[in-house]
Chain A
Amino acid sequence: MSTDKKLFGGFSRRDWLKSVAGLPILGSVWAAGWDTTEKSKLEKELLLERLNIKASPPPPSGSMEGNPVRIGLIGFGIRGEQLMRALGFATNEWLEAMAISSQEDPNDKRLEDFKAQENLNVKLVGVCDIFDVRAEDALRSFNTSDNPCKRYPTYLDMIHSGDVDAVIIATPDHWHAPMAQAAIEAGVHVYVEKPMTHTVSETYLLREAVRRNPGAVLAVGHQHRQTLSFLTAQDAISKNTLGHISLVVTNTNRNDDNGAWQYRIHPDASPETIDWNAFLGSAPFVPFNKEHFFRWRKWWAYGSGLSGDLLTHDYDRINCVLNMGIPKYVTASGGVYTHRDGRNVPDVMQVNMDFPEFSTGSSQESGKEKGMSLVYSATLGNQFDRGTVLMGHDASMELGNILTIYADPRSTQYKEMIQDGRIDPAVPIYQYDPSANGVDAVTSATAKYFANKGLLWTYRDGKRVDSTFLHIREWLSCIRNGGNPSCGIDEGFEEAITAHMAGLSYKTGRRMEWDEETEKIITLPEEELDAILLDNSVSYVS
Chain B
Amino acid sequence: MSASQPLSSAQTIALVLLRLFVGWHFLYEGVIKLYTPSWTAKGYLLSATYLESFFHWLGSDSMISLVDTLNVATLILVGAALILGFCTKLASILGIGLLLLYYLAHPPFPGHPQGITEGSYWIINKNLIEAVALVVVYLFPTSMSFGLERLFHKKEIKTQST
Contacts and interface: CB of A to CB of B under 8 A. Distances in A.
* Pair from one complex: yes
Contact of B83 (A11, A29, A41, A436): A29
Interface string A24-53: 011001101110111001000000000000
Nearest to A27: B83
Contacts of A445: 116
Given A10-B158, A25-B24, A37-B32, A19 B147 contact: yes
A18 interface: yes
A33 B80 CA distance: 13
A453 B84 contact: no
A456 B116 contact: no
Interface in A406-446: 436-438, 440, 445-446
Contact of A19 (B31, B59, B150): B150
Contact of B61 (A37, A106, A463): A463
A149 to B, nearest CB: 36
A29 B43 contact: no
A94 interface: no
A22 B28 CA distance: 14
A7 interface: yes
Contacts of B159: 7
- Interface centre among B20, B83, B148, by most chain A C-beta atoms within 10 angstroms, is B83
Interface in B38-62: 38, 40, 42-43, 46-47, 53, 56, 59-61
A446 B116 contact: yes
Interface string A434-472: 001110100001110110010110110011000000000
Contacts of B154: 8, 10-11, 15, 19
Nearest to B56: A107
Contact of A15 (B35, B116, B150): B150
A25 B46 CA distance: 35
Contacts of A25: 20, 24, 83
Contacts of B83: 22, 25-26, 29
Given A455-B46, A455-B47, A459-B46, A22 B116 contact: no
Nearest to A34: B35
B80 A453 contact: no
B63 interface: no
A9 interface: yes
B38 A440 contact: yes
B151 interface: yes
B10 to A, nearest CB: 16
B17 to A, nearest CB: 11
Contacts of A37: 31-32, 35-36
A120 to B, nearest CB: 25
Contacts of A458: 46
A26 B151 CA distance: 18
A21 interface: yes
Contacts of A541: none
B43 A456 contact: yes
A187 B67 CA distance: 56
Nearest to A7: B155
B84 A23 contact: yes
Nearest to A440: B38
B85 A22 contact: yes
Contacts of A20: 148
B27 interface: yes
B141 interface: no
A453 B106 CA distance: 15
A493 to B, nearest CB: 42
Contacts of A453: 47
Nearest to B19: A22
B38 A22 contact: no
Interface string B139-162: 000000111101100110111000
A438 B145 contact: no
Contacts of B115: 446, 449
B31 A33 contact: yes
B108 interface: no
Contacts of B35: 33-34, 37-38, 41
Nearest to A447: B43
A36 B30 CA distance: 13
Nearest to A9: B158
Interface in A458-500: 458-459, 462-463
Interface in B1-44: 20, 24, 27-28, 30-32, 34-36, 38, 40, 42-43
Contacts of A18: 145-147, 150
B63 to A, nearest CB: 12
B43 A446 contact: yes
A359 B36 CA distance: 39
Given A8-B155, A19-B147, A26 B84 contact: yes
Given A15-B154, A19-B148, A22-B83, A437 B38 contact: yes
Contacts of B80: 26
Contacts of B53: 106
B95 interface: no
Contacts of A36: 32
B79 interface: yes
A296 B141 CA distance: 76
Contacts of B20: 22, 25
A37 B38 CA distance: 12
Interface in A117-166: none
A532 B32 CA distance: 64
B159 to A, nearest CB: 8
Kindly name the residue among A30, A36, A438, A463 whose own CB sees the greatest number of chain B CB atoms within 10 A: A30
21 contacts: A7-B159, A19-B85, A19-B148, A19-B150, A21-B146, A25-B24, A25-B83, A26-B84, A29-B31, A29-B79, A29-B83, A33-B27, A33-B28, A33-B34, A41-B35, A436-B38, A438-B38, A446-B115, A450-B46, A453-B47, A463-B61
Q: What 4 A-B pairs have minimum CB-CB distances, sorted nearest first?
A: A33-B31, A37-B35, A450-B43, A22-B84
Interface of B: 20, 24, 27-28, 30-32, 34-36, 38, 40, 42-43, 46-47, 53, 56, 59-61, 79-80, 83-85, 115-116, 145-148, 150-151, 154-155, 157-159
Given A26-B80, A33-B34, 17 more contacts: A11-B154, A15-B150, A15-B154, A19-B150, A22-B146, A29-B83, A32-B31, A33-B27, A33-B32, A37-B36, A106-B53, A436-B38, A446-B115, A455-B43, A455-B47, A456-B43, A459-B46
